[in-house]
Amino acid sequence: MKHLSLAILLALSLPTAACSSSHSEYRGLEESASFTATQSRGCANFSLLSSTPSGCPLSRPFATGVTESVSIRLDDNRVTSVVVRALDPDVLTVTSQRLTSSSDRYAQFNAAVTAMRPGVTELRVESMSGALLDRIRVEVADATRITLRADTDVETPGTLSADQRTFTLRQGAHASITAQGIDAQGRMLLGNDAVQWTVADTSVVNLSWFLQSGTRVNDDRVYVDGRATGTATLTATLNRATATVQAVVTP
């Protein structure tokens, strides 16, 4: 088996009780994998102005309730079919998987996973015969607070005040703001669609993210369109955490 990257080796450091396996599981295997979450905007650089996300390492916990897309790259193009599963489906479930691309050096798969409840498990990549190709430790946690960030990769960005209480944008602007969930240990979470943004009405601002538009958007990042001068209260919710910010639209 090829040597795993340092990041994956660190991620595999499960407690003995949670991850006990002999070296014989890996005998004869040549694949080494990299795992990347591609939907949460907490650390991915994704927008309509950038064609591909940079991705987030799975060293970050999943927020409870989130559905994420995990890209898995195996450094062996001979593997065209795999089984991706979580060791404890009560913590994390895999809802779909597919081959997305391959070359003469690698095969890349995508797995959709849903975080069910707080806990620790491992995400396993297995051959169709059940042989273990690779694994990574994953954790699910609840958000206890939310921090906000004004996104600058848009043509008409808004401005977030230092205390994160006011988000200022011009009338007609198409601005963007991201909510980052933080757990009780201070770790940033992969939030994606588990984050819900709301506004009372769309007279001052409209919320949107791709096919979602109106008073509610389920995503950690939301576009804010300034429709009329005035003030509207935006609320971001993730698990037990809530953040509010006043969207101020200026002429």
For 93-142, the pLDDT digits (tens) are 999 999 999 998 899 999 999 999 999 999 999 999 999 999 999 999 99
Confidence of residue 75 (pLDDT cuts 50, 70, 90): confident
Q: 109 is in which domain, residue-wise?
A: 7-13+22-141
User: Residues 26, 126: one domain?
Assistant: yes
| β-sheet with 62-63: strand ranges across | 62-63, 132-141, 119-126, 83-86
Q: Where are the beta strands (DSSP E) in the chain?
A: 33-37, 56-57, 62-63, 67-74, 83-86, 92-102, 107-115, 119-126, 132-141, 145-150, 159-160, 166-170, 174-182, 196-199, 205-209, 212-214, 216-218, 221-226, 230-238, 241-250
Bigger pLDDT: 131 vs 56: 131
Instruction: Note the pLDDT of residue 169.
Output: 98
- Range 193-212 average pLDDT: 97
CATH code for the domain in which residue 190 is found: 2.60.40.1080
**What's the token pair of residue 179?**
């909510």
93 burial level (CB within 10 Å; 0-12, 13-18, 19+): middle
Which of 141, 171, 197 terminates a domain? The answer is 141
